[in-house]
Structure 1
Amino acid sequence: MPNSLAILMMTSWPFVTLIMYLRMPVRSAVIWSILAGYMLLPAAMSLDLPGLPGLGKQTIPSLFGYIYASFMLGRMIPLFPQSTAGRVFVGFLLAGPFLTVLTNGDPIHLSGRTLPGLRLYDAASMAVGQLGFLFTWSLGREFLRDSAALRQLAYALVIAFLWYSLPMLYEVRMSPQLHIRIYGFFQHDFAQMMRQGGFRPIVFLEHGLWIAVLTAMSAMLAVVIGRDAPPERRSRWYGAAAYLMVVLVLSKSLAALLYAALLIPVLMFLDGRRIAQVAMLLGVLVLSYPVVRTLDVFPTDQLLELASRASVERAQSLQFRFDNEDALLARAMERPLFGWGGWERSFIHDPATGETISTTDGLWVIAMGYSGFTGFIAQFGLLALPIFMLGSAYRAIGREVPVFAAGFAVVLAVNLIDLLPNATISPVTWLFSGAMLGCLESLRRGAEDQSDQQVAIPNPAARQSFAGLVGRPAAGPRTLL
């Protein structure tokens, strides 16, 4: 049960976010309110307000940040992007819940219990739930929409995880206990944090898998920043990447370690065009995965054989995931367009007891069961859209894709790849996608690297005291970065 500090942190974060927006440059406020909120607030708890879905660490910073920024701008920050594909994806994200409800009004009768049919209230609740992620995405698209802001976001994540590695290393040695000591409860199953005779760190995130994939992304970003940095500064970024790789090894997550180990050489030695092609290839794999799994042409047997060579335990875990995917996918295909909605309607149930017997791991199969192909394409298509726009946006202005932009796209693609076996989506995923899309939209307008791309928000004098936290200092050369 959450203690009083956990409740205080959740209820006070809207005010912390407000202070950030009042006293920081808007870019820094967007980045740090979302990153700090996600990395520091308690996991697996939410505030239940009348008429609204529960508000947790993934939604509180973005919801209140969206409100504050809109008031400061004097207009609502647009949810719909400029591209036609992006508008379609956002439209389906918002309209999809109502289509799901229209096709799921029937109750499901199980042995001993009944799952209710969906009502209009459920559609509204589902749509409002989507807004929390769209607010994060829209803040990134609106305020982090040039190359300087993209670099600032990359720097922030690397710096944040260099600091976060300290409690991670503590938990590797002493066991995952910071969340329960500080907030009074453990956010997941403690047994899942034990691996290879030791412990996975989890700190204040949802699971050890989340912290591992974000550590891998930070290590990869450090390499990308190093390639983009002046020669005299490259060694420090490469050193940061090497250190984060050591922390990643200690995190005991094979998938995240493989992502970084396989792609860091790509990021170090290939040119921007080749790196962008790798990002696009990963994006194609993400979007095509439900189709190849439905057609049963994905090489599951070969992957199981490879996993068994590394560890019998990992092979069993992978087999369990594939078996659950097969069962859940078969259930989703009974209503392939708009899915089954909530209330466990898309789960597999024991015919004798009516209890749920399936385990949902990958976000793709969760999306398929919940909202069908429509929901999957809308969510994953929107997240992957900037990866596929990258090459055409730079060709439109007659430039080669730079290494930094291509590397940023690969890091985003790695996070999307991890959504196939896991549900490791976070505000970082949405912020990265929105920021990159905003940058590419600016390119298409021929406005890259123009100073007027910083959105003008009234800038009180008090805000200048924090202007050097990330990015350009308010006065003088001193800055944490």
Structure 2
Amino acid sequence: MPNTFAYLTLICWPVLALLIYRVRNLSTLAATFWVVVGGYLILPVKAQIDLPMLPSLNQITIPAISAAVCCVFVRRVPIKLIPDRGIVRWLYICLLLAPLLSVLANPLPMFDGAQEKPGLSLYDALADTMATYLKTLPLLLGLSLVKSTEDIAKLLKLMVYAVILYSPLILLEIRISPQLHTWIYGFFPHQFSQQIRFDGFRPVVFLGHGLLVAIFVAVSLCATAILWRHKYRLSNLPLGFFILYLAAILILCKAVGAWILGLGALICIVTLSPRLQAWVCVLVTLFVLAYPLLAINGLIPYKNLTDFASIFGQDRSQSVAFRFMHEAALLEHAAKKIEFGWGIWGRHQLNGSVSDGYLIQILGVYGLWGYIANAGLLLAIILRAAKSIKRLPDPRARGLMGGALSILMLMMVDQIPNTSITPYFWLIFGGVMGAAAQMDRVAAGARKGLRIA
């Protein structure tokens, strides 16, 4: 159970957000990053304030609401309520409609083999729609605040600063075991046994699981590599030093998946041209989004993947086999209500099942409608950004956009085994979409000027 201090930090975060936004020499983008991502990194996991007719106010929603309110009323910067044009707008609307359609398809209770789970009501539709909107609010913040590839560079720098500031806590838990959340907030938010790996510990800090820490470090490492390749500076120390430092921390996080994803993204960033990075990102994302549908039809080589995992030890092989076993059962269950899913309250799960992958969870909860809305939204952003690269005249700008797409690819692949849809995930996606949209407007203006001439 969370202690009093856990709830106090949640209540006080909007006040801290107001103070951050009132710092005059801090840009609106930087203030938004520290409020949204800082809240995710510091606030307690699974502690929430429940008010009538409102979604839970927690580590994710409180910073997002605080940032949006402060942008509008403190900085006088308008925030888009939804994406303003194109296929992205309609996919986002479909995303918000998914809870309602899921509720309408599931009015009756269900029995999962051990307990009865309630039927869904219009109240559930309203609450889940609001929760979906608040979870994706960082996407709208990024879309509204990032206007150029230089803003993307600022966002990447902020990711590097954040992980450097966070790294002492990560290293502390690597040394002593994951204890900070228990010491400060009064409880441990996950199974402690899952944080024991390779005769040591995964750091958890305040993120809830060691895998979330590892992917945060991997994304920040890639951000550092992008800045290094395109000759940006952070301090008097060379960026190569920070690359080695973060690579060492990533290794110490003891997460094989994050190692592989981080290495793959780094190779793309360092060796490939921006346009080739864009194509690789698009192709990999298409495979990722097709994964649940391929798995339903028996087209994923589970045995070969399990054998490959045994390279990293028998426990890794057993862990992967365990995931695949539950994944297959959940996909079979999802196929029974493939159109609009089973809805919330854990109805998409079977008794004793474990659901790790975000994409499979979305398919189970919201069916094909919600899956296409989620997957289509992310794919549309990636395609728009990839298309914008050829419009960028500056090699550095093209490199930043290509590198950002490599980071998006890394985060997308992680949604197969894990659920790491975090505030910085949505903020980066929104930022990339905002920069690409600005490139589209500039190109459209240039074409219009040529026609007038």
Q: Which residue of 1 aligns with 2:120?
A: 118
Distance in 2, matches of 1:364 and 1:19, equals 37
Q: Which residue of 1 aligns with 2:361?
A: 366
Is the aligned partner of 1:393 residue 2:388? yes
Q: Which residue of 2 aligns with 1:426?
A: 422
CA contact (8 A) 2:35 2:66 kept: no
Q: CA deviation at 1:399?
A: 7.0
Where structure 2 has 5 or more consecutive residues not aligned to the other structure, the ranges are: 445-453
Q: Which moved more, 1:316-325 or 1:21-30?
A: 21-30
- SS of 2:116's equivalent? strand
CA contact (8 A) 1:385 1:437 kept: no
Q: Which runs of 4+ in 1 moved over 3 A?
A: 71-76, 109-113, 230-235, 394-401
Residue number among 387, 406, 416 corresponding to 2:412 in the alignment:
416
Is the aligned partner of 1:406 residue 2:408? no
Distance in 2, matches of 1:232 and 1:121, equals 49
Q: RMSD value over aligned CA atoms?
A: 2.1
Q: Which moved more, 1:378-387 or 1:24-33?
A: 378-387
Is the aligned partner of 1:383 residue 2:385? no
Residue number among 225, 237, 250 corresponding to 1:248 in the alignment:
250
Residues 25-44 of structure 1 correspond to what in structure 2 (within 5 A)?
A: 25-44=27-46
Residues 17-416 of structure 1 correspond to what in structure 2 (within 5 A)?
A: 17-23=17-23, 24-72=26-74, 77-109=79-111, 113-229=115-231, 236-348=238-350, 356-396=351-391, 402-416=398-412
Q: Which moved more, 1:139-148 or 1:198-207?
A: 139-148
Q: Which residue of 2 aligns with 1:11?
A: 11
Q: Which moved more, 1:267-276 or 1:31-40?
A: 267-276
Q: Which moved more, 1:381-390 or 1:302-311?
A: 381-390
CA contact (8 A) 2:30 2:158 kept: no
- SS of 2:442's equivalent? coil
Q: CA deviation at 1:93?
A: 1.2
CA contact (8 A) 1:286 1:416 kept: yes
CA contact (8 A) 2:102 2:341 kept: yes
TM-score (norm 1): 0.87
Q: CA deviation at 1:266?
A: 2.2
Q: CA deviation at 1:233?
A: 8.0
Q: CA deviation at 1:232?
A: 11
1:138-165 Cα distance to aligned partner (Å, 9 max, x none)? 1111012222221111001111111211
Give the letter for the 2:362 counterpart.
A
Where structure 1 has 5 or more consecutive residues not aligned to the other structure, the ranges are: 349-355, 449-481
Relative distance call for 1:224 and 1:111 in structure 2 (3 A) is closer
Relative distance call for 1:446 and 1:76 in structure 2 (3 A) is closer
Q: Which moved more, 1:391-400 or 1:223-232?
A: 391-400
Give the letter for the 1:432 counterpart.
I
Distance in 2, matches of 1:84 and 1:76, equals 20
TM-score (norm 2): 0.92
Say how many residue pairs are matched. Answer: 441
Q: CA deviation at 1:397?
A: 5.9
Q: CA deviation at 1:171?
A: 0.6
Distance in 2, matches of 1:228 and 1:209, equals 29
Relative distance call for 1:397 and 1:184 in structure 2 (3 A) is closer
Q: CA deviation at 1:415?
A: 0.9
Q: Which moved more, 1:60-69 or 1:197-206?
A: 60-69
Q: Which moved more, 1:257-266 or 1:358-367?
A: 257-266
Q: CA deviation at 1:134?
A: 2.4
